[in-house]
Amino acid sequence: MVVEQLEMHLSFQGEQRKYHHFSKVLNCDMVFSLYLPPSFEEKELSLIWWLSGLTCTDDNFSQKSGFQKAAADQTVAVIIPDTSPRGDKVPDDEGWDLGKGASFYLNATQDPWVENYQMYTYLTEELPQIVYSLIPHFSGKESIMGHSMGGHGAIMMGLKERDRFASISAFAPILNPSQVPWGQKAFTAYLGSDESSWQEWDSTSLIEQTEKVPPILITQGMSDNFYEVQLQEKEFLKAAGDKPVFYRSEKGYDHSYFTIATFIEEHIQFHVNELKK
């Protein structure tokens, strides 16, 4: 597979890189960003995945969150995939919350989405092998985090791949997508109207069915304008029971990258603590 480096920017003595490749799984060209901390050629590195939210690309987190300082200080690599398949031949929707930029990180089963929208397989099988090859001394240890739709993706994927990820975290995640408008719209389009098929992609259903889960940290701003309708936590926390879920409500914070930038150091430290165990 040909992987082309498009950009490299020094950031806190590490390298913020951007790559391009053709994805056989998604049947389209894709980009992703990778941060390698200082002295990455000499040190063994663990890897944290970041999944972005609706309408975003890999650039949003790399350019707005300021995560690079914490990643450099903690000597950890960070991979930022795109949020969906891309290109003129990839199906899309007129709405901003479906289609390009809105994959919900699942494997679609319905036309016209099924040919390209196989993001779960892309993120669990194809892209990891590319990323591992770009880290000179990969430790084999990984964690995952994300925001909004990407928070849904991070928790869902972390629960489904719980032997792979040491820890999971999220900012303002969609915790019960089968019960809220964003998730219902996407799941109906990508998976069909049979709601029983939705449950394998719903974090509330997954955590209820899973006995042992990685530690999960969630930060939710209480001034988030999507909170009441799209991001309610009650059913998820009820399903989690006494599992290691740390849910933090932050008064005055909203859905923006200002919130992410405020708490990203705490999240990276949370992951590093688990990765070192």
Q: What is the pLDDT of residue 1?
A: 76
State mean pLDDT over 240-252: 98
Spatial separation of the C-alpha atoms in residues 146 and 61, rounded to whole Å: 10
C-alpha 35/C-alpha 27 separation (Å) is 25
Q: In whole angstroms, what is the distance from residue 173 CA to residue 165 CA?
A: 18
Q: How far apart are CA 136 and CA 270, in angstroms?
A: 24
259 touches 250 (CB < 8 A): yes
By C-alpha distance, which of 19, 7, 3, 101 is closest to 60?
Answer: 101
Q: What is the mean pLDDT of residues 251-263?
A: 98
pLDDT-based confidence at residue 166 (cuts at 50, 70, 90)? very high
Q: Say if residue 127's pLDDT is above 80.
A: yes
Residue spans of the domains in the chain: they are 3-275
Instruction: Give the C-alpha separation, 183 to 176, whole Å.
Output: 8
Among residues 264, 274, 269, the alpha carbon closest in space to that of 64 is found at 264
pLDDT tens-digit readout, 76-85: 999 999 999 9
Q: Which residues participate in catalysis according to the annotation?
A: 148, 224, 255
Would you say residue 275 has pLDDT above 90? yes
Please give the model's pTM, rounded to 2 decimal places: 0.97
What digits encode the pLDDT tens for the residues 135-156? 999 999 999 999 999 999 999 9
Identify any residues that bridge with 31 across adjacent strands, giving them in sequence order.
20
CATH number of the 3-275 domain: 3.40.50.1820
Task: Output the furthest CA–CA distance in the chain (Å, rounded).
Answer: 51
- Nearest in space to 91 (alpha carbons), one of 70, 125, 115, 74: 115
Angstrom distance (rounded) from CA 148 to CA 56: 11
